[in-house]
Structure 1
Amino acid sequence: MRALTFACLWLVGLQLQCFGQASPVQNRDRTCATTEYLAQQEQQDPTFMQRKEALEQAVQKALQRPRTGQAIQQTTIIIPVVFHVVYNTESENISDEQILSQLAVLNADFRRLNADAANTPPHFQSLAADTQIEFCLAITDPNGELTSGITRTRSTESVFRVSTDNVKNAARGGVEGWNRDQYLNIWVCNLESGYLGYASLASAAATRDGVVIHYESIGAPPSNNFPAPYNLGRTATHEVGHWLGLKHIWGSGSRCTDSDDIADTPNQLRETTGCPDSIVISCDNGPYGNMWMNYMDYSDDACMNMFTKGQADYMRAFLAVSRPSILSSLACSVSLRSRFSLTNQADSLVMAGSTVGFTDRSEGLKPVTWFWEFEGGIPATSTAQHPTVTYPAPGKYNVTLTVSNGSLSSTKTEENIVHATVTDLVAYPNPASDYLMLEQPVAVHIQEVELVNQVGQTLLTARVQERVTRLDIQHVPAGVYFLRIRSSNGLQVKKISIVR
């Protein structure tokens, strides 16, 4: 488990006591801003809640499908992470060691390798889960260049507000995140009002996707020299749980009718503060009471120590449904994957004679050479990174791209990626015998066809659904007929001969 390299550092650090000057963050109860952040997005984006609800329904369906659910549970997931440190003062520009200790905490907590796992009460031990989710520091950036997985940006902003989300905006003192389909972005900054952090959901805009953590709450001793109770890295564990779809364990309010929609977490009235030393009963959840040691509660860092099996299943299903491409990201490996797309997706269907553009979207290390092969295209090959090709004749065509960086290479073929249609509506063969083919150009949509004899009788009527349609004329006597075609271009009539 390469992603667990730093776990030992955290396991030792957890046993150490850390003292320092008190701060507004450490002198108050835990304050996660995710609920407020999601409410703000709902107000700003009219379709946000619709996307959120659709996503939640898709996750539930994935969990209910036996094969999908079983596959989700069996594979270890590794998520590439990039930390964006945005600082105004040197104390906010935290060390690489503090960030690496946070990575170790995430891996220990999500794999249930945390030193305090033994502190889970006996009555909840059977519910505690190894989520089989790991985190690795990215070694390639979105341009395919090698990276430390840590970016640092000096800002003129002394504090960042949840309401503006400016930490993710370079024009407003922050820094843009990397491609969310390949990375988990974690911004580290000085947050307003003592907030410890907040997270987006996958239904958020791509530019806003990720987690934001107060710099004092990143990592664990001895690398984190800030005072307790939020200096053991559990803020990131909590917020990444949100990023993976989990709600607060008590739900969204202070009512027993609220729920986090996870079956094996006890219903509880409200958040836990501090560090309880005994069973806390609420919402008739006896005899064992609230699961205040759960990472999705508000307990102090030192009292959090578990996810449940239900939470683990939900997070894995949520990731598979909402961010499937991150499951195959190469950001933590020294490798190369050929990938490309049409520059304009509408060009998958064009008229013969059209020119089509292709865009290289290779992943992993940056390629230095490109070799394209275009079936039916002019030119037939190209070494440009983003070529254009003309397709002179109707047909469906494959495209192949081989990329290389000198030591590694990768080849990808997309079958039938381009469909070039005829330039005018055609009916063939003519004369016909058993079947008559109708083919329409990209700009025309046939609605209905009729085969009429010379005295005006209709022998055949058909509604056309496909771009190429075959009409069965085996029952039609030999002779000369008229094919009346109603399309988006109006009415066309073609003379057809049928022979026997």
Structure 2
Amino acid sequence: MKKILISAVTALLLFSCQNDQSESTDSEATAVSTRRACASQQVLDDQLRADPTLAIRMNEIEAFTNKSILTNRLVNGKIEIPVVVNVLYRTAAQNISDAQIQSQIDVLNKDFNALNSDYNSVPALFSGVKANVGITFVLDQIIRKSTTKTSWGTNDAMKKVAQGGLAPTSPATKLNLWACAIGGGILGYAQFPGGAAATDGVVIDSKYFGLSGAANAPFNLGRTGTHEVGHWMNLRHIWGDANCGSDLVSDTPTHNEENYGVPAYPHYSTCTGTPVEMTMNYMDYVDDNAMYMFSQGQKNRMAAIFVTGGPRAAFGI
């Protein structure tokens, strides 16, 4: 297991630039993905270029998070998060049902409370660090809007009324989800803590929202939502978006890169020490049926954003 030292320099090293995501064609928007693609880090890079002060705010959040964990300021209080779901649809299939929306809430509640049926599949090697995060989600409101837009891309257009989208509802105290056609092979993306309130929340392609049916396999079990909400709660990809990078969590093994599909266990990293990778972690890129755990370190990192002084303290612990 790796140990990390969080500093402003370390945080800044995370923000490496990536290529911009262009808006997809109609055929790309309707195709079903076979490999997971999350645009959260790419969107963060774009936001950092547009707003240099964001890096300062995020460095402050990193320092606060590290201090909260080291000084045991975290408590086991109850966090219940109201969820607003914004549905933007052009086709009947994109206008997902209330039942499908509720299925995503149900998946979040299972995955964040260790109630998922595959939680006991965690290998013995990681059984000592697997975690019940203890955060619950309640569906607060569903807002629907018809659109002629084929795909929305990753520039937050779906969150802006002037661009045909729906603005977030009370983002300081409610988690906003957008269900829409993202395009470009992107399953979803989230805004990390510290970003602008006007764009805060999680975007999930409507094909992968909740229990979306066998036609959308292998991403039809709602784990795109779990992965992206993890980002919204300040978790990074488990490989740190760099070869043998850091996810800023001490009890996850160093991954050389993302994993896809359903990796055979044990899967060894090529990084120093060749540790067994935690491929079943929600913050990897594996298929929905191959991810089923958060670690205790990830739990502590998520909890830190909700304590007094944290970036999502309005939700409260």
TM-score (structure 2 length as normaliser): 0.87
- 1:426-476 residue CA offsets vs partner (Å, 9 max, x unmatched): xxxxxxxxxxxxxxxxxxxxxxxxxxxxxxxxxxxxxxxxxxxxxxxxxxx
Contact in 1 for aligned 2:105/2:210 (Cα 8 Å): yes
Query: Of the two, which has the highest radius of gyration?
Result: 1
Cα offset, 1:104, TM superposition: 0.5
Report the 3-state secondary structure (helix = DSSP H, G, I; strand = E; otherwise coil) of the residue aligned with 1:92.
coil
How far 1:295 moved relative to its partner? 0.1
Note the C-alpha offset of 1:124: 1.1
**Which of 182, 196, 220 is matched with 2:187 structurally?**
196
Q: 1:24 to 1:89 in 2, by over 3 A?
A: closer
Aligned equivalents of 2:113, 2:228: Cα separation in 1: 16
From 138, 151, 154, the equivalent of 2:143 is 151
Check the 8 A contact 1:267/1:285 in 2, yes or no. no
Q: CA deviation at 1:76?
A: 2.2
Structure 1 segments, 4+ long, off by >4 Å, are: 22-25
In the TM superposition, residue 245 of structure 1 has moved relative to its aligned partner by 0.3
Inter-CA distance 25–238: structure 2 relative to 1 (3 Å threshold): farther
Q: Which residue of 2 aligns with 1:61?
A: 67
Q: Secondary structure at the match of 2:305?
A: helix
Cα distance change on mapping 1:59 and 1:32 into 2, 3 Å: same
SS of 2:303's partner is helix
Q: Does 1:208 find its partner at 2:185? A: no
Report the CA distance between 1:226 and its aligned residue. Answer: 3.3
Q: Which of the pair has the greater relative contact order for Cα pairs under 8 Å at 6+ separation?
A: 2
| Superposition map of 1:209-358 within 5 A | 209-220=200-211, 224=213, 226-254=215-243, 256=244, 258-282=245-269, 283-286=271-274, 289-320=276-307, 321-327=310-316
Amino acid at match of 2:264: D
Change (3 A) 1:253 1:326: same
Distance in 2, matches of 1:217 and 1:285, equals: 36
CA distance in 2, matches of 1:124, 1:53: 30
What whole-Å deviation, never above 9, does each CA across 1:246-273 have from its counterpart, x for those lacking one? 000000212x2x1001010001100001
C-alpha distance in 2, partners of 1:195/1:28? 11
How far 1:77 sits from its partner (Å)?
1.1
Q: Would the aligned equivalents of 1:24 and 1:194 in 2 still touch at CA under 8 Å?
A: no
The separation in 1 between residues aligned to 2:78 and 2:158, in whole angstroms, is 31
Measured after TM superposition, the shift of residue 285 of structure 1 is 4.5
Gap runs ≥5 in structure 1? 1-21, 139-148, 329-500
SS in 1 for 2:118: helix
Q: Deviations over 1:5-38 (max 9, x none)?
A: xxxxxxxxxxxxxxxxx98653431000001100
Number of residue-to-residue matches in the alignment: 287
1:78 aligns with: 80
Cα root mean square deviation, aligned: 1.6
Deviation at 1:286, TM superposition (A): 4.4
Q: Normalised by the size of structure 1, how large is the TM-score?
A: 0.56
Once residues 102 and 214 of structure 2 are traced to their aligned partners in structure 1, the CA distance between those partners, rounded to angstroms, is: 14
Separation in structure 1 between the aligned mates of residue 39 and residue 147 of structure 2, nearest angstrom:
22
The residue correspondences of 1:383-402 to structure 2 (distance < 5 A) are none
State, as a whole percentage, how many aligned pairs show the same letter. Answer: 40
Deviations along 1:332-351, whole A, 9 cap, x unmatched?
A: xxxxxxxxxxxxxxxxxxxx
Return 5+ residue gaps in structure 2 as ranges.
1-27
Among 118, 121, 130, which residue is 2:120 paired with?
118
Moved more, 240-249 or 316-325: 316-325
Task: Determine which structure has the larger strand proportion and give its number.
Answer: 1
Residues 29 and 184 in structure 2, CA contact (< 8 A), matched pair in contact too: no
Q: Distance in 2 between matches of 1:184 and 1:273?
A: 28
After the TM superposition, which residues 409-428 of structure 1 pair with which residues of structure 2 at under 5 Å, given as runs?
A: none
Q: Are the counterparts in 1 of residues 262 and 286 from structure 2 also a CA contact under 8 Å?
A: yes
Asked if 1:160 is matched to 2:149, the reply is no
The DSSP-based 3-state class of the residue aligned with 2:172 is: coil
1:134 aligns with 2:136: yes
Name the structure 1 match of 2:19. none
Could you report, residue by residue, the CA deviation over 1:146-182 in whole angstroms, capped at 9, with x for unpaired residues?
xxx11101112111010x2100011111100111111
Partner residue, 2:3: none
Deviation at 1:284, TM superposition (A): 3.6
